[in-house]
Structure 1
Amino acid sequence: MNKYLLSVATAACLVAGTASAGSITGTIDAIGASLVNTVEGTSDISSNLGDDKLVLDAKDDAARFVASNGEARGAQLEAALTHIRTQAPDLEASDLQLAGAILAL
């Protein structure tokens, strides 16, 4: 009886691990695709800002902002977003998209 339970538990763990890995892979793929679209949409501005210390210093704040889905706004990120919007007033990207582009620099 114990061998049967051990076999069932092992099978359950393997299935759960596979499902979990698939879910993580799908999530990573979705995030990657989102960042690619963001970077493509803001490639002109990001190529100009790739050397900008103000923007590069905002990477940690941008990571927190993206991870919190736009809830955690840091001072360095706010300064970088203002700077980016000043440099490219016609840019129609959300703060979340810009934060993703900052992370991609």
Structure 2
Amino acid sequence: MRSLSRLLIAATASLICVTQAQAFDTTTQSLIKSGYATSQVTTGPFDNKLILAAQDDAAAFIASDGQLRGAQLEAALMYLRQAQPKLHASDLELAQAILVQ
């Protein structure tokens, strides 16, 4: 009888651990999926060398509150607007997005 109760306790404890592990896995899985989808949406057009080369110009543009507009930034903004015609972001917003890449 004593070994039966120990066996029952061990079985119950293992089920609790498995349930917690599955809950953690489900939570982690959905978090990873949403993070991956977000990264694909936000970095898709920025995987271009033209965009990455414009980071210094983007920093100057942001720091000068839009007064300094370098040639690389202008080229990157034109590329983004042509590649993403439905993109309705200001030059400042695009410069900020370029800078964080």
- TM-score normalised according to structure 1 size: 0.56
Tell me how far apart the structure 2 counterparts of residues 87 and 49 of structure 1 sit (CA, whole Å).
8
**Alignment RMSD, CA only?**
1.6
The number of residue pairs the alignment matches comes to: 63
What does residue 92 of structure 1 align with?
Answer: 88
Is 1:81 the counterpart of 2:77? The answer is yes
Deviates further, 92-101 or 46-55: 46-55
| Residue 48 of structure 1, CA deviation | 1.2
- Percent identity (aligned): 54
* Partner Cα separation in structure 2 for residue 50 and residue 78 of structure 1: 15
Correspondences of 1:22-101 after superposition (within 5 Å):
44=41, 46-101=42-97
- Pick the structure with greater CA Rg: 2
Q: Which runs of 4+ in 1 moved over 6 A?
A: none
Unpaired stretches in structure 2, ≥5 consecutive residues: 1-37
CA separation in 2, counterparts of 1:49 and 1:66? 20
